[in-house]
Structure 1
């Protein structure tokens, strides 16, 4: 399992620079300690009889070791700052490319920043190129080793990776869904009062709607000050049969998949907005999202274009990656051998979202067997296993997500409603 900032970026560049600054300060402290040790050595050696009371050889050795530690810190600072510049170069390149597609003059400013970075160290462009190439080479690891079923599955897996490699699964900044969704009705089918917020990412994924036919669950958290915060849980595709491309009663179908992936408003997206409104969410309210599969696309557009304030989203097996702002955090769970997730092509090489945003990646099922025909690596239960591994990893970004749930746990009341949506 790999936990990183997303794309080719392991750690947010500014976080790396903060580490470098702390190491530089530590090097200064160590150098001060070395000077004190050497000064003490000189005093002891010069003082008659003092050398008999102190092991001056060991004292000198400790001074030399302090010098070695300072040198190691200095080298680490240089290396960390270089990698921060390389990561920033990759981020700037990805952002500039996206802006250039929209003929935005801002791309030129980003490229000038890239030039300044390269002027500081000529190795940076080549290192960035190698970094991105390595990420591209690993994006679909395991997808080509699926059970072949007599050659029937290979075109499906290869086709998904080919689509993902085009970059269609990255939603550019400023994108909005077009068109009008099919009419849809939303009905509450179950209400409950959870004792508190989820205990972690895996627990959050376990809170997907469980009532018969429900695709949406909305939890309303009434905070001590009276304000309301919301978390919505959105199921994945419920009807994946090819004929559902034509539509039917079930909004979470292949027609909605096609519409959302091509930038059109789907009935599943409209149903989510209707359910949130029915639960009491108003424009400007904080609405965070936990989503699986198709609903990763719904979460992306809720964060990018809805009237709600989406600060956090957790997605599992999403076929897209949104271009989020620095004040929005996304936690993405991806399996390299999941053909649905592969439609995102690994996302942007520069990653997305805040410094706390994180992508958790692993090969969901390294076994070659008939279970591949059932898309085992895309199933929610498999992603819950990955989330459990991440929760136990000790990664500080995953632990930061725990603070988000802890804040929600301060709520004085939690109301949960599950909704079933149908096309009219």
Structure 2
């Protein structure tokens, strides 16, 4: 894998962290290249040390020329260069060990994912990880430390919200425990939705001709509200080629006793999608794309919140559309994407719904430009925690605004995507309302 930058994550005064997700810091090959370049610097220092030593020896052996030269300073220079050589060599060794540790984390995650579909391939990948660990005991220890640190950070603030006499923290932490214990928070390769979705009817309710969004926050603001659940924008590019962007809403009906009624974006669909079963909301999204003109093989990008993130995951991993860009906020799951698919995730570490993803994969997912932007969505405890304010789309839009303003190279790389959409000669937006039938 490779990525734009690593984890040291960028962070600003608002606690925003931007990284590739998981415990991986940088591309292992980039890190090994850095180690090699550091070793070449160490070699130059060794040449310098040898030159200064020769000069010291020559001057010391010819007292008549040494009166104008500080021989003691030359000796101190040799000693300082010796120290620098040791420091650089240690840094080089540490860098290469770290690269191996990152690779072990990545290989172990790959083996875990492959175990579901190809036991032989999983065994071969695990064997590579085992060989690296056997070569140097520090590598295994460091890999475990990296994963442990990631696990500790992924739920920061989740149990520190409104207390309500001690009743609420266990409830908030339950989301994390469900995700960790069930393993359902990561959609693994080969996992497709099972069963048959409830029948739905999809109707267009509004059309418009907007410009392309110019940033992450602007894109999330286009997710529809109560009157519709899906919006599809058809982009006609120069030359006549078309592409689509689907904006998929989160849960519209959260009352459990109203599940299974006319609203497809309800708790029934939430449970079905999280458990890997077909939902009315997923089928409605596919139908809305078809109604907007999208056909198998067409490029369809997805912007989604909450339940919409689970829909986006399966659109990217099993639909007939080519989903190369996926932007999600507060999704209960994380897809396992290929290196030709970019995943931009917004996550709040104190969001109980996002916690259902259990932090996703330790190795991260998606293309080199993929990243996860995370922060504690609401560091102040209060009554707003009862309404899950940290999960609201408005709170995630605030996070998106922070990403837009961050100056992080991964966020700036998204500018190319907005510019590409902005080259469209026509944009047709249709919002759709879906209802269960029968």
Q: TM-score scaled by structure 2?
A: 0.85
Which position in structure 1 is the counterpart of 2:227?
213
Equivalent position SS for 1:181: coil
**Which of 191, 198, 202 lines up with 1:186 in the alignment?**
202
Distance in structure 2 (CA, Å) of the matches to 1:240 and 1:117: 48
Which position in structure 2 is the counterpart of 1:236?
250
* More divergent stretch after superposition (250-259 vs 139-148): 139-148
Distance in structure 2 (CA, Å) of the matches to 1:287 and 1:183: 23
Equivalent position SS for 2:159: helix
Report Cα offsets for 1:341-399 as digits up to 9, x if no partner.
01111111121112222112211111111000010110111111122222222222222
**Which of 353, 376, 382 lines up with 2:395 in the alignment?**
382
Specify whether residues 370 and 40 from structure 1 end up closer, same or farther in structure 2 by C-alpha distance, changes over 3 A only. same
After superposition, residues 82-231 of structure 1 pair within 5 angstroms as 82-102=97-117, 104-166=119-181, 167-199=183-215, 201-210=216-225, 212-231=226-245
Which position in structure 2 is the counterpart of 1:46?
none
> Do the aligned residues in 1 keep the contact of 2:230 with 2:249 (CA within 8 Å)?
yes
Specify whether residues 35 and 322 from structure 1 end up closer, same or farther in structure 2 by C-alpha distance, changes over 3 A only. same
Distance in structure 2 (CA, Å) of the matches to 1:205 and 1:368: 26
Distance in structure 2 (CA, Å) of the matches to 1:401 and 1:58: 53
Distance in structure 2 (CA, Å) of the matches to 1:363 and 1:25: 42
* More divergent stretch after superposition (114-123 vs 59-68): 59-68
Q: Which runs of 5+ in 2 are unaligned?
A: 1-15, 59-65
RMSD of equivalent CA atoms: 3.2
Specify whether residues 264 and 81 from structure 1 end up closer, same or farther in structure 2 by C-alpha distance, changes over 3 A only. same
* More divergent stretch after superposition (400-409 vs 251-260): 400-409
Distance in structure 2 (CA, Å) of the matches to 1:405 and 1:334: 21
Pairs aligned (count)? 421
- Alignment of 1:4 with 2:37, yes or no, is no
After superposition, residues 1-400 of structure 1 pair within 5 angstroms as 1-21=16-36, 23=38, 74-102=89-117, 104-166=119-181, 167-199=183-215, 201-210=216-225, 212-245=226-259, 247-400=260-413
> Do the aligned residues in 1 keep the contact of 2:342 with 2:369 (CA within 8 Å)?
yes
Distance in structure 1 (CA, Å) of the matches to 2:224 and 2:349: 26
Distance in structure 2 (CA, Å) of the matches to 1:66 and 1:415: 66
> Do the aligned residues in 1 keep the contact of 2:158 with 2:351 (CA within 8 Å)?
yes
Distance in structure 1 (CA, Å) of the matches to 2:295 and 2:33: 38
* More divergent stretch after superposition (29-38 vs 271-280): 29-38
Distance in structure 1 (CA, Å) of the matches to 2:234 and 2:71: 68
Distance in structure 1 (CA, Å) of the matches to 2:51 and 2:422: 50
Structure 1 position 138, deviation (Å):
2.6
Structure 1 position 30, deviation (Å):
7.6
